[in-house]
Structure formats: C-alpha cells, structure tokens
Amino acid sequence: MKSGQRESAPTPGLPEEYLSRMRVDLSSAGETPADFERFLSSFDEPPVHSLQLNTLRGADRSGLPFSLSDPPIPWNPDGFYYEETDDNRPGRHPLHDAGAFYIQEASAMLPARMLLSADNDSSRHLRVLDLCAAPGGKSVQLALTMRGQGLLVSNEIHPARAKILSQNIERMGIRNAIVLNESPERLAAAFPAFFDRILVDAPCSGEGMFRKNPEAIREWSPDAVRLCAERQRTILRAAADMLAPGGRLVYSTCTFAPAEDEEQIASFLADHPDFTPEKQEKLLPHRIHGEGHFSALLLREGTVPIPDAGRFSAGIARSGRAGKGAGSSQAGIPGKALAEEIRVWLSSLLCDPVCIDFDPARLILFGDHLYLVPPCLPDLHGLRVLRPGLHLADIRPNRKENRIEPAHALSHALSPSQVFRCAELTDDEAAAFLNGQTLRPDRLIHAGDVDGTAAGYVLMCCRGFSLGWARAGAGMLKNRYPKGIRTAG
C-alpha cells in the first residue's frame, strides 16, 4: 500500500490481532493506556488534506485561490494543509492540471525531506533514485529540492502505475527526471554503486492509511505483514547494491508494523555492516496532523568527491527498449540537419533563448517522439524506459509544413514569459480548455514584433501557469490538449 490512495467510507472495525499488537507496540514505545485510546480515537477523525507547492513553477501560497494553512507543514516548508469544502477544492481547479501543486498526504512528505536538504543538496549534481516511485509525490518533492540539477531516476515496477508516475512528472514540469518501469533486481544489475541518494518507499501493509483508505483494513492480515516484510528485504538489498560509498538511503513505509519498520532496519544493518543509522522517525496519527508513516535514514560508509557536473557523461546512451511513454521503437540520435531544424523551430517558439538548455548532443528520438535528455543520462540499454528526459516535440516526417509539434510536456516546463505567444484564460475558460473545447479568447499576448493573428502555437495559461498548447488559425485557437488526459465536463 502506498500513500496517496483515494479516500473511502468511514473506517470499519479494526482487526483484533492488529489492535492487540498495537497496544503492545505503543506500550513498548512508552505510550500510556490513555495514549492508546487517543490513537484509537484518531480513526474517528476525518482524513487530513494537504498539498505540495510546485516551487519549480514559481507557485506561492499567496498566488493561489485557496485557503491554505499558516504556518506550513512542520517537516516541509513548501507543504500546506487545507480544509476541503465546496468552495475550496484544489484538486478540481485548473491549477492542479497546470502542475502548480501536487496533492500529497502530509506525513508522506517526510521521507524526501529526510533524504535531501534544500540547503545542502539543491545546488549539487546528485544522482538520485526513487526506487518505488508511483504515483510520484515523493519524486516530485525530490525534484523540487534538486531545482533542476543532477539526475532523478523515478522507477515503478507495475506498468499501469509507472504510466501514472510518468504523467505526474510531466504535469509538474520536471526536466531532469527519467522514468523507468523495472524491477529492483534489474536496476541493481544496471547501476552498481551508482546513486548518491536512494529513496525506498516500500510497498507495505498500509496500517498508516487505515483512516484514509479503509480498503487497506480489509486487505490486512498477519500473513500480509510477513509477506510485505519479505518483499521489503529484497527491495532493500537491491537498493544497497546501487548506493555509492558515502551515499544516503531513506527507507520508508506507511505502516506501523515493527516487522516492516524497526525490525526491517535492524535486520538490514546486521546484513550490511557498511551502513549506519542516522535518523529514524515514526509518525503516529494521534501525535501529528496526518496519517501514519515510518522513515529511517541510513549512511553508507566511504567517501566520494562532492558530486558535480564533471562526474557525468555528456554523451547519450542508446536504450534498447522503450516503453509506451517514450515510443515503441529503438532510440536514435537525430542527424545534424534535423537538430538544426529543431533549433530553428525552438527559436521561433521561445522568446527566452536560454529557458531550454538546448544541446544537440542531448537530443534523442524514440520513434517520432523527441526528447532532451539530462546531461547526466546513464546507459539505459535493455531497460524499459517510459520517459528519458523532457519530451520536447513530436516529429511528423511525412509533412511538408508543421513537421514539428511541441509536446505537452514542453508546455509545462515553460512559463508565459518564455514564449512569444500565450493566452491568459479565466478559470472557466481554463476548465473548458482542459475539457477539449475550442476557444476564442481576447487576451492573446505576444512578444516583440510577433504577429498575434498569424498561425502558430500559443501557450494557454491560467493565473500565470501554463496548461498546454493551442494552434492559432482562422481567428480561433484549436485545442491541442492531449485527449487522453482531458477532464470531463
């Protein structure tokens, strides 16, 4: 069970075996019988709502049309609580689709914060792995802390969940991430001692989510806890093989079971004497404003130079297999003529020439899909790749005109001030755009000498955040928002 699951009906009765164990576990941790009663009472309280601001896109609580908590969540200065009402529903506002924020359970924000420090890690070219990343909240938080520097590898073993992960990476406008759909064992074989930081948000029995997701109660059993613990041991072993000397690893779950938490860490440390514990926290719902979570920070002995751009290869490694997100064909490198065509096309689209770190040596094609990969892209040969970097464009080789179409991901990596033409939409117009409707807004904004009436692509925006592309022509803006993610309305 991973945090971020849907909410359901009021919590049904808790299993007696679970209650008996929790009574003993809390007593062993110094909790009193009154504390246990408070723990039980927490299940009668409504779930807590919270979100993470997208600081990469310049999101600020004062610029959002929602009531957010003041102060922020204690362990995340960019995370905020909110009360969900008919008039205050961030998840249904166009800014959610614009990637201005990510709705994430408050306690689930702790592991990424424990792994990366905004003060010490935001300017380093780190290699970071989120091993069990779907649906993507922790990857997003890691990317925000990294501020576009270094490499983020977000992996998910289940194909359907990996697709959701890839969509969330795209929605949030993250450029330095690659998304993989692989098993931990195959990744360990591909990346021995490669990563500086690893997050293992392990699949678990979900006890910390009982209040928010009662389905987890129905799936719980002592056998389920044992099976989860066995799977977690396998995942942790693979993660250890991928961590570089001097690197840090955070192991987290959304459960209270000692077999999956404290005992799991103790067993791992016994088998890996080159690791030492640095920090360990268990969040309990009667102690904090949020659901249950466990996090442990481990350090691998050894020293490595402070990571910088010089550690990374500037070349592109070809991937032997590409997932559906990147295309079904072999990866290839565009020729000089196509690379120059792309450069000219970008210069006609963007009024800020440096907002995209364009480098022909970092272009890669998956079928008709063109990506700008991170400068630190490792060898991905033989791995299932859903997203090898920033999806820049789609190439239509059979067309004489408009051969290059801007990708939806590119729109979310840009701000209105960086393009020649954009249209600022009202909230209602933005909702209509997300629903696929054709618009005739009278707020078309263009920079310099660009003809605002000429045919071409326009960045559609709401409250200063980009939503997607439309194509101007015949006095209208033809909607180019992807059909697969359009909202109902």
- Angstrom distance (rounded) from CA 381 to CA 190: 9
Q: Is the domain of 291 the same as that of 425?
A: no
Number of domains forming the structure of the chain? 2
Q: Is the domain of 111 the same as that of 237?
A: yes
**Do the domain assignments include residue 369?**
no
> Does 254 qualify as catalytic in the annotation?
yes
CATH of the domain at 458: 2.30.130.60
Positions of E strands within 117-268: 127-130, 151-155, 177-180, 195-201, 243-253
Domain boundary among 300, 330, 346: 300
**Do the domain assignments include residue 258?**
yes
CATH of the domain at 34: 3.40.50.150
pTM equals: 0.92
**Do the domain assignments include residue 311?**
no
- Angstrom distance (rounded) from CA 3 to CA 482: 27
pLDDT in tens, 401-448: 778 999 999 999 999 999 999 999 999 999 999 999 988 766 667 666
**Do the domain assignments include residue 436?**
yes
pLDDT in tens, 473-488: 877 889 999 999 998 7
Owning domain of residue 461 = 415-489
**Do the domain assignments include residue 194?**
yes
Q: Are 298 and 236 a contacting pair, CB within 8 Å?
A: no
Q: What is the mean pLDDT of residues 178-193?
A: 98
11-to-38, 70, 278 alpha-carbon distances in Å? 16, 29, 35
User: Is the predicted pLDDT of residue 315 greater than 70, yes or no?
Assistant: no
pLDDT in tens, 88-118: 999 999 999 999 999 999 999 999 999 998 6
Domain boundary among 273, 300, 327: 300
**Do the domain assignments include residue 288?**
yes
Active-site entry in 254, 376, 422, 461: 254
Domain boundary among 254, 269, 300: 300
Residue 71: is the preceding peptide bond cis (ω within 30°)?
yes
Q: What is the mean pLDDT of the chain?
A: 89
Around Cβ 262, how many Cβ atoms within 10 Å? 16
* Res 320: pLDDT: 42
